[in-house]
Structures are given as C-alpha cells and as structure tokens.
Amino acid sequence: MTRTAKIIHLAALTVAATIYVALTTQAVAQSQRNCGPREAVVERLASGYGETRQSVGIGSNNAMVEVFASDQTGSWTILVTMPTGVTCLVASGQSFEEVAEALPAKGNDA
C-alpha cells in the first residue's frame, strides 16, 4: 500500500471514529442492535457480504476502528471494537473503491 493510500485510509478511520463518538450519544437500545462479539460480526461480514478487512487504526478511547469491504460487490462496513471486546457497526454502504490521491502541495490549501 502506498503512502498516499495509507493517508487516505487514516482519514477514513478518523471520520469513522468521529462518527462513532457521535453515535455513542444515542440510546443504548439502538447501539445494542448494532453490536456483538467481534468474531461473530467479522464472520457475518465475510460469509454474508464477502467483506475482508481493508484498513485498521486506533481511535479515541483506545477503540480499534476497521474498514471492511468487498472488491467484488463494492459493499463496505466500518466497525469499532471497544477495549471491552464489544464490536459495533457504525456505518455501511456500497461502491467501495480504493483510491490513491496525491496530497496538495505545501502552501496550497485547495
């Protein structure tokens, strides 16, 4: 993976962590529907959607943030696993693409 791709994945993980923090303020009942043991969640993504882990990072509160996606179907899922071992789905969608965009030149804020 190129340096640029790593930076893009890190940006996606940062956004996912931000989304996670925002979602943790919602009712506990809703978050429990989207959470479960990590092994079961990962198995469901693999068997049901053909998704594999594309990137990983550590977010706020030492939470592990992971992006899973399928190269064949384009589906993607962002998971957050808390230090307690509980894994929660925070976002999912379609049309996943791996991109490698160059960083803007220094001094160019466009």
Token duo for residue 86: 């509980």
Residue 34: inside a domain, yes or no? yes
Where do the DSSP E strands lie in 1-110? Answer: 35-37, 52-58, 64-69, 76-81, 86-93
Residue 109: inside a domain, yes or no? no
Residue 104: inside a domain, yes or no? no
Residue 91 has pLDDT above 90, yes or no: yes
Residue ranges making up the domain that contains 55: 3-93
Residue 103: inside a domain, yes or no? no
**Amino acid code (one letter) for 107:** G
Q: Are 51 and 71 a contacting pair, CB within 8 Å? A: no
The whole model's pTM is what? 0.67
- How many structural domains is the chain composed of? 1
Per-residue confidence (pLDDT) for residue 26, from 0 to 100: 44
Q: pLDDT by residue (tens digit) across 2-54?
A: 766 666 666 666 666 656 655 554 444 444 568 999 999 999 999 999 999 99
Per-residue confidence (pLDDT) for residue 34, from 0 to 100: 87
Chain position carrying tokens 């479960």: 36
Residue 101: inside a domain, yes or no? no
Q: What is the DSSP letter of 35?
A: E
Q: pLDDT by residue (tens digit) across 52-88?
A: 999 999 988 899 999 999 999 999 999 999 999 999 9
Residue 59: inside a domain, yes or no? yes
Alpha carbon dihedral 9, 92, 35, 14, in 10-degree steps, equals: 30
